């Protein structure tokens, strides 16, 4: 008999099925034992009765502890009151292992304790729901880009130079030479988009961020589209359409997971395009009116982003930052070169920046000047300058931080819950 996943039991009412999983909880009531079983897709209640099973099998069922691994065969019944709407009348049972002393009990545990048991905590309803939504977000983002003619290209993790500034590089030794873990795949994608037109890379990126916040990881995943012939305005439209699509796919496909996380989905339903846009200068004005001590030229921090996001019920773009506080490759505003043709997308509900993007400099001389001004080693960027020598075109792109996006869509309080094994300032185990 082939195995049926619990989430699909609805198609097997009245039929005999095999289900494999782990025990979530057990309630014994004399002649009946109720086993709540999880298999990764969902939970189902299985009913073991003395009438249906041998004495030996019934006693075995009565010994099952939390996380014991098992397989059972039984008939599916519809029961509106049961978890998930179905239950299984067990006819036979096979136990792989009786789990002893599982360290995480249903009672509340402290965060430090759970983090030290991350390899087990991921089995919890909470974390596994987040991981499923994460998978949905990735799949939606890929579908969106693939259907619009983007090609996925994989860019290197080991790189000889910095993309986003030298302060947060992880250095490794590359056969006697220094190399760095990628902070972003962008610069390579500026090359691949000149080959393929529209591309994206999706992979892990690394930043030695010396900050212990709810928004920073040392290793996080970034989705980075890059488009030839696209200027900043069109770049922003693609971003808002992508975000709208991701949110609507999560609402459509992950209602159970959102319910487990107690996410207020009415807020997600308000994420409709177009998103509001404010310039950096407007934001500085607003913040000053709100009493923040900030002057033109300062970068924004988490409290500033939170204050701005509270003005709207949708994500908001902040555009035209001073070029001086942004990366070297950003195209200066053609009317005012003090400003960069860039935008950060700030999530709603105070979740902060989820996207950073810009138009890129396509003029050879200007880019060379910027590389020098930023004290970057020109030799390492020679190939990047080449792109401005051979058929240069205006082009733009952006980077969507996956974990920030998961954190926001799931309504979590800390980014460490968005990835199975978070890498944080003081934590690399397990």
Give the binding site for ligand 4AD (CB under 6 A). Answer: 163-164, 184, 186, 207, 209, 216-217, 220, 222, 224, 353-357, 397-399, 401, 403-404
Nearest approach, Cβ of 183 to ligand 4AD (angstroms)? 6
CA dist 125 and 24 (Å) reads: 10
Nearest approach, Cβ of 353 to Mg ion (angstroms)? 6
136's tokens: 């949905």
* Binding residues for Mg ion (CB under 5 A): 356
CA dist 413 and 350 (Å) reads: 11
CA dist 342 and 237 (Å) reads: 13
Q: Cis omega before residue 274 (within 30°)? A: yes
Place of tokens 């999560």: 250
Give, to the nearest 10 degrees, the angle between helix 125-147 and helix 402-410: 120
Residue 376 has, within 13 A of its CA and on its CB side, a CA count of 24
If contact means CB under 5 to 8 A according to the sort of partner, which of Mg ion, ligand 4AD, none does residue 74 touch?
none
Radius of gyration of the chain (CA): 26
Nearest approach, Cβ of 269 to ligand 4AD (angstroms)? 22
Closest CA to 142 of 236, 275, 42, 249: 249
Give the bridge partners for 93, in sequence order: 72
Nearest approach, Cβ of 77 to ligand 4AD (angstroms)? 46
Q: Would the CA dihedral through 184, 185, 188, 192 be positive or negative?
A: negative
Spatial neighbors of 312 by CB under 8 A, at least 6 apart, are 276, 348
If contact means CB under 5 to 8 A according to the sort of partner, which of ligand 4AD, Mg ion, none does residue 357 touch?
ligand 4AD
Burial class (CB in 10 A: 0-12, 13-18, 19+), 363: middle
Closest CA to 348 of 405, 301, 291: 405
Choose between 207 and 263: whose C-beta lies nearer to Mg ion.
207
Nearest approach, Cβ of 50 to ligand 4AD (angstroms)? 54
Nearest approach, Cβ of 226 to ligand 4AD (angstroms)? 7
CA dist 350 and 353 (Å) reads: 9
Nearest approach, Cβ of 212 to ligand 4AD (angstroms)? 11
If contact means CB under 5 to 8 A according to the sort of partner, which of Mg ion, ligand 4AD, none does residue 332 touch?
none
């Amino acid at each position: 008999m082939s195995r049926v996943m619990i989430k699909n039991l609805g198609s097997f009412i009245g039929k005999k099925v095999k289900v494999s999983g782990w025990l979530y909880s057990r309630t014994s009531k004399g002649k009946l034992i109720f086993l709540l079983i999880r298999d990764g897709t969902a939970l189902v209640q299985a009913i073991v009765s003395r009438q249906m099973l041998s004495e030996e099998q019934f006693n075995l069922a009565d010994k099952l502890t939390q996380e014991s691994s098992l397989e059972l065969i039984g008939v599916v019944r519809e029961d509106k009151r049961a978890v998930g709407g179905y239950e299984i009348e067990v006819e036979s049972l096979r136990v792989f292992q009786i789990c002893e002393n599982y360290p995480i009990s249903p009672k509340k545990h402290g965060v430090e304790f759970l983090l030290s048991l991350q390899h087990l905590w991921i089995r919890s309803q909470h974390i596994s729901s987040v991981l499923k939504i994460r998978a949905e977000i990735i799949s939606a983002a890929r579908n969106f880009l693939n259907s619009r003619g983007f090609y996925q290209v994989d860019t290197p993790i080991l790189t000889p130079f910095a993309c986003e500034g030298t302060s947060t590089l992880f250095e490794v030794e590359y056969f006697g030479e220094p190399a760095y873990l990628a902070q972003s795949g962008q610069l390579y994608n500026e090359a691949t988009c000149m080959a393929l037109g529209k591309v994206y890379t999706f992979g892990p990126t690394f930043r030695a961020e010396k900050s212990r916040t709810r928004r920073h990881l040392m290793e996080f995943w970034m989705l980075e589209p890059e488009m030839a012939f696209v200027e900043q305005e069109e770049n922003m439209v693609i971003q808002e359409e992508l975000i709208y699509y991701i949110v609507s796919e999560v609402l459509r496909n992950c209602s159970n997971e959102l319910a487990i996380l107690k996410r207020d989905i009415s807020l997600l339903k308000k994420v409709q395009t177009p998103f509001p846009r404010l310039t950096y200068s407007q934001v500085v004005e607003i913040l000053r009116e709100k009493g923040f001590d900030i002057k033109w030229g300062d970068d924004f921090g988490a409290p500033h982003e939170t204050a701005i996001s509270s003005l709207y019920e949708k994500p908001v773009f902040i555009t035209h930052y001073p070029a001086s506080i942004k990366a070297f490759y950003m195209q200066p505003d053609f009317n005012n070169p003090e400003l960069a043709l860039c935008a950060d997308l700030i999530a709603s509900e105070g979740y902060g920046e989820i996207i950073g993007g810009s138009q890129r400099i396509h003029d050879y001389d200007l880019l060379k000047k910027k590389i020098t001004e930023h004290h970057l080693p020109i030799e390492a960027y020679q190939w990047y300058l080449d792109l401005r020598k051979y058929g240069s075109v205006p082009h733009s792109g952006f980077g969507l931080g996956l974990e920030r996006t998961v954190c926001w869509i799931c309504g979590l309080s800390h980014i460490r819950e968005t990835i199975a094994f978070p890498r944080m300032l003081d934590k690399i185990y397990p």
